[in-house]
Amino acid sequence: MKLQNKTTLITGASAGIGKSCAYKFAEEGSNLVLFARRTDMLESVAKDIESKYGVKVFYSKLDVRNFDEVKTMIDLLPEEFSTIDILINNAGKALGLSKFYDADLEDWEEMIDTNIKGLLYLSRVVVPKMVAQNSGFIINIGSLAGHEVYPNGNVYCGTKSFVRAISKGMIIDLNGTNVKVTNIDPGLVETEFSEVRFHGDKEKAKGIYLGYTPLKGDDIAEIAIFAATRPAHVQIQEIFVTPTDQATATIVNKKM
Ligand code: NDP
Ligand code: 8X3
């Protein structure tokens, strides 16, 4: 086990990539601090992980869009969870897939508040403690959408370009400390992502992953483990990973 006695904080741990990271990091011996808005799902993840891996898990409802909630939660973490070794800024979403001049303003607000401000809020509160302890590791989950703007992706792609830029900004500002940053940019991963994007339309969401083999949450979690377990002098700044069947956002080898 490579992460024994470490503490990993994961946002968006109730589903998808965040949930996969919770299991993989626990498998490596890390204690966990898990956040999301759906506490029933968090609770079942936490209980299952505790019984399978014997690590300590703290979980709580936390909406990353609310700075006061984030600050209070981190300030009041129980003593045994208060030293965060690894921060995984994962909570995020796309909402809608339409031309920018037709888009729903509320969708924009929620994407910007979650993908950009939420990541900033968690980092602003957790990272000073990492700098003070002169050790820590930050994983920001970006996207292929941060490398490439695709039709109707407009604002979501903008938020993921931001994630890529702020990851670089963090790397620059943390230079000279032992706090490392890795930006992970996945292509198509089969999670609740598309169901959320299409506002609960399960059929439409399913269609996104048909006819080829998409990535799974576990594929991204394994990459996160690899990045988090390099020697102290090795910083993997960025990982861009797609399914083998995906060349670009729009070139996907669908056999159908
Ligand atoms: P899921 O929809 O499966 O999971 C998203 C997670 O984020 C859930 O746990 C959700 O929990 C949480 N979340 C959403 N809003 C908030 C909020 N305001 N506060 C706290 N938690 C929140 O999607 P993925 O696992 O696929 O997405 C995870 C990350 O990966 C996102 O940043 C996404 O942009 C990125 N990504 C996804 C790709 C894909 O193809 N799936 C590809 C590239 C990047 P809850 O609803 O309970 O709050
Ligand atoms: C999720 C992948 O291609 O839907 O970020 O933007 S994509």
pLDDT tens sequence across 58-113? 999 999 999 999 999 999 999 999 999 999 999 999 999 999 999 999 999 999 99
Residue-level pLDDT at 256: 82
Could you tell which of 10, 14, 34 is best to mutate to test the pocket of ligand 1, judged by most ligand atoms within 8 Å of the CB? 14
124-to-67, 87, 182, 213 alpha-carbon distances in Å:
10, 11, 17, 37
Residue-level pLDDT at 230: 98
Question: Hey, what domains does the chain have and what are their CATH numbers?
Answer: 7-241 (3.40.50.720)
Residue-level pLDDT at 19: 99
Task: Let me know if 156 is a catalytic residue.
Answer: yes
Q: State the distance from the centre of ligand 2 to the C-alpha of 10, rounded, in angstroms.
A: 20
239-to-46, 112, 222 alpha-carbon distances in Å:
28, 23, 12
Whether 193 and 94 have beta carbons less than 8 Å apart is answered as yes
Residue-level pLDDT at 43: 98
Q: Which of 117, 156, 180, 209 is catalytic?
A: 156
* Regions of the chain short of the pLDDT cut 50: none
For ligand 2, whether the C-beta of 111 sits within 6 Å is no
Model pLDDT for residues 57-69, shown as the tens digit of each residue = 999 999 999 999 9
Question: Does residue 153 sit in helix, strand or coil?
Answer: coil
For ligand 1, whether the C-beta of 228 sits within 6 Å is no
Upper half-sphere CA count for residue 209 (Cβ side, 13 Å): 17
